[in-house]
Structure 1
Amino acid sequence: MNPYNEIQKTFEIKNGVKIYDFAKCVETLENLGKHQFGKKFKIHEKDVPVIKKLLIYAIRDESTARAMNIDVNKGIILSGPVGCGKTSMMWLINFFSPQSHNYKIIPCRDIAFEFATKGYEALSPFTKKEEKQSKMNNICFDDLGTEKQIKYFGNECNVMAEIILTRYDSFITNKTMTHVTTNLSASELETCYGDRVRSRMRQMFNLIPFDKNSPDKR
């Protein structure tokens, strides 16, 4: 199954503008999910409002996004309980994004483990531009808050706090796009990363939460 071919079926072009059929979008997401994650994958009715916000953001429907208090020029924090489908949904929604807004999904714990062995060099892919790039790569940091404070040669570092602060500077100057999934609440994020990081996150991200009672779908 080619995801991009499937997505072509979710819209019509009228007067040069893509007009999406939301029901077809949800159906396509579910079909892609079953193909990627297994036949048990299902879009739950309770999650449809969250999915609609993510779709509106991904297709960059600015007027509808504004009505939903979503700024398409910011990234996304997708929050919710363990197992509610945050990572899989960010993976699926990515196919609806324009190529210039596609992102890689990187587990925060992997970054922390890399830092433990390689030190600050391990942070370079997330805090520096590649040669000939005008800005850093778009990244979705998965499971923010599951990584731990890591020591490298005795020096302790809050790895994700450093990355977020650096990417904030690039967001301001170059519109670098960053996304996050997390199980943590806003207050828990502040406890983990401090009020300075939390303040930057408010400026960088739209918060889109799953219902706190959303069941574990694994």
Structure 2
Amino acid sequence: MDNPSKITEGGVEYSLGKFDGKSVLYDFDKILIYLDAKGKLLFGKQFRIYDEDTVIIRKLCHYFINDEENCLKDDIDPDKGILLSGPVGCGKTTLMKLLRYIVPMQRPYEMIPCRNVAFSFNHLGFKTIEEYGNTKFFCFDDLGVEPAGRFYGKDLNVMGEVLLSRYELYLQTKKKIKTHATTNLNAEELEERYGNRVRSRMRELFNLIAFDKRARDKRK
């Protein structure tokens, strides 16, 4: 049987904790070492884990490894997805791309830029809503700054419709379908963009994990 506490990257074996034959006892410091190494492989040598982000990363790790006790402390519901919010350039997309690798046995999610969903709607119409309202796991990147959809003269708030579809699916599948998203917008701005109905569904779909408003832009 594979040992899920060990992951090999580039010929180097990383341990994320101890495996007792049934479950992994994760070690956060070891996870950080692995994430730093994997981040450099994925995003280049300039990638690093910032000390000021470890609180957020720890919460995300608790969620992904399904640490029920710490999720409860963090007020995180393991059935819901993650809505990771924070200012431009603070590293939201990078973290969501990276963290799925610490749980290779779990079903992965696809990262989809929201603007791609809007553009797809402009070409294909409502087929797009069906396509993203399916049983795949997605992380919608940059929610709230995508252009409005327009198909045959009909305007549509495409991501709003996709989120409503994902919500219906989430209920139908007894909360087994995961939807994640990243956004630069705060709660008021999201409500302004998508309306009250979508915003209330978002509360039921997502755990909100937010960077500090003053988090620095790592791209500079």
Instruction: Tell me the TM-score normalised to structure 1 length.
Output: 0.91
For residues 157-176 of structure 1, what are the structure 2 equivalents within 5 Å? 157-174=156-173, 175-176=176-177
Q: 1:155 to 1:3 in 2, by over 3 A?
A: farther
Residue 64 of structure 1 aligns to a residue whose secondary structure is helix
Structure 2 gaps of 5+ residues are 1-6
For residues 47-196 of structure 1, what are the structure 2 equivalents within 5 Å? 47-97=53-103, 99-128=105-134, 136-174=135-173, 175-196=176-197
Asked whether the 8 Å contact 1:161–1:193 carries over to 2, the reply is yes
Asked whether the 8 Å contact 1:7–1:28 carries over to 2, the reply is no
Asked whether the 8 Å contact 2:109–2:136 carries over to 1, the reply is yes
Structure 1 gaps of 5+ residues are 129-135
Greater helix fraction, Structure 1 or Structure 2: 1
Q: Kindly state the Cα deviation for residue 62 of structure 1 after the two structures are TM-superposed.
A: 1.1
Q: 1:9 to 1:107 in 2, by over 3 A?
A: same
Q: C-alpha root-mean-square deviation of aligned residues, in Å?
A: 1.8
Asked whether the 8 Å contact 2:148–2:156 carries over to 1, the reply is yes
May I ask how many residue pairs the two structures share in their alignment? 211
Q: 1:7 to 1:68 in 2, by over 3 A?
A: farther
CA distance in structure 2 between the aligned counterparts of 1:152 and 1:65, rounded to whole angstroms:
42
Identity of aligned residues (%): 44
Provide the residue aligned with 1:17 in structure 2.
23
Q: Which runs of 4+ in 1 moved over 6 A?
A: 4-7
Asked whether the 8 Å contact 1:7–1:25 carries over to 2, the reply is no
Q: Which of 93-102 and 110-119 deviates more?
A: 93-102
Q: Which of 208-217 and 182-191 deviates more?
A: 208-217
Residue 188 of structure 1 aligns to a residue whose secondary structure is helix
Q: 1:5 to 1:145 in 2, by over 3 A?
A: farther
